[in-house]
């Protein structure tokens, strides 16, 4: 069953609500864990056996271009995606590699494009990196 939110987001950007697109969007919305393309693919193949990686790649790229999802490149070699498009900060744990959302007061929020030195800025991302709570605890126990 697909949520209204998934359908609405597709309609908003004028894309046909195919099974693949709906499932991918739905997965993003219900799994706020910053999945990689591979994560999404692996999660959905069981229910859509003919799904191809290319479709997942293309669809997620589309989503981020149309701003119904965010592409995150905080982890040097693996792009991941976030269906949460409200302002928040991404925190990358260098120990376990997980990406967390932090609702820090410094989260950039850009409602409309702004000009800086003549350059038009229409996207902002703040990345934090360090060691997460869990990994700190593990280290303390050694």
Partner DNA sequence: ATGGGTGCAAAGGATTTGCAACATT
Partner DNA sequence: AATGTTGCAAATCCTTTGCACCCAT
Residues that bind its own copies (CB under 8 A): 71, 73-77, 79, 91, 93, 100, 102, 104, 106, 108, 113, 116-133, 136
Cα–Cα distance, 87 to 107 (Å, whole number) = 6
Closer to its own copies by Cβ: residue 22 or 34: 34
Smallest separation (angstroms) from DNA to the CB of 43: 14
**Residue 16 binds DNA (CB under 7 A):** yes
Q: Which of its own copies, DNA, none has residue 58 at its interface (CB below 5 to 8 Å by kind)?
A: DNA
**Residue 30 binds DNA (CB under 7 A):** no
Cα–Cα distance, 34 to 80 (Å, whole number) = 6
Stretch 61-100 residues interacting with DNA (CB under 7 A): 61, 76-79
Residue 110 is given by DSSP the state -
Smallest separation (angstroms) from its own copies to the CB of 73: 5
Cα–Cα distance, 136 to 114 (Å, whole number) = 38
Scanning the structure block, which residue is given the tokens 């060691």?
131
In a 10 Å sphere around its CB, with 0-12 CB exposed, 13-18 middle and 19+ buried, how is residue 124 labelled? exposed
């Amino acid at each position: 069953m697909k949520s209204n939110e998934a359908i609405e987001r597709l309609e908003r950007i004028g894309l046909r609500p195919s099974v693949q697109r709906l499932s991918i969007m739905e997965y993003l919305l219900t799994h706020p864990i910053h999945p990689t393309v591979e994560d999404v693919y692996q999660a959905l193949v069981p229910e859509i056996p003919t799904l191809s990686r290319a479709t997942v790649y293309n669809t997620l790229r589309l989503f981020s271009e149309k701003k119904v999802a965010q592409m995150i490149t905080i982890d040097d070699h693996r792009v991941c995606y976030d269906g949460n498009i409200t302002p928040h900060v991404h925190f990358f744990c260098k120990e376990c590699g997980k990406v967390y959302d932090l609702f820090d007061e410094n989260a950039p929020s850009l409602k409309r494009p702004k000009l800086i030195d003549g350059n038009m800025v229409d996207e902002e991302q703040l990345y934090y990196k360090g060691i997460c709570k869990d990994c700190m605890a593990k280290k303390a126990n050694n």
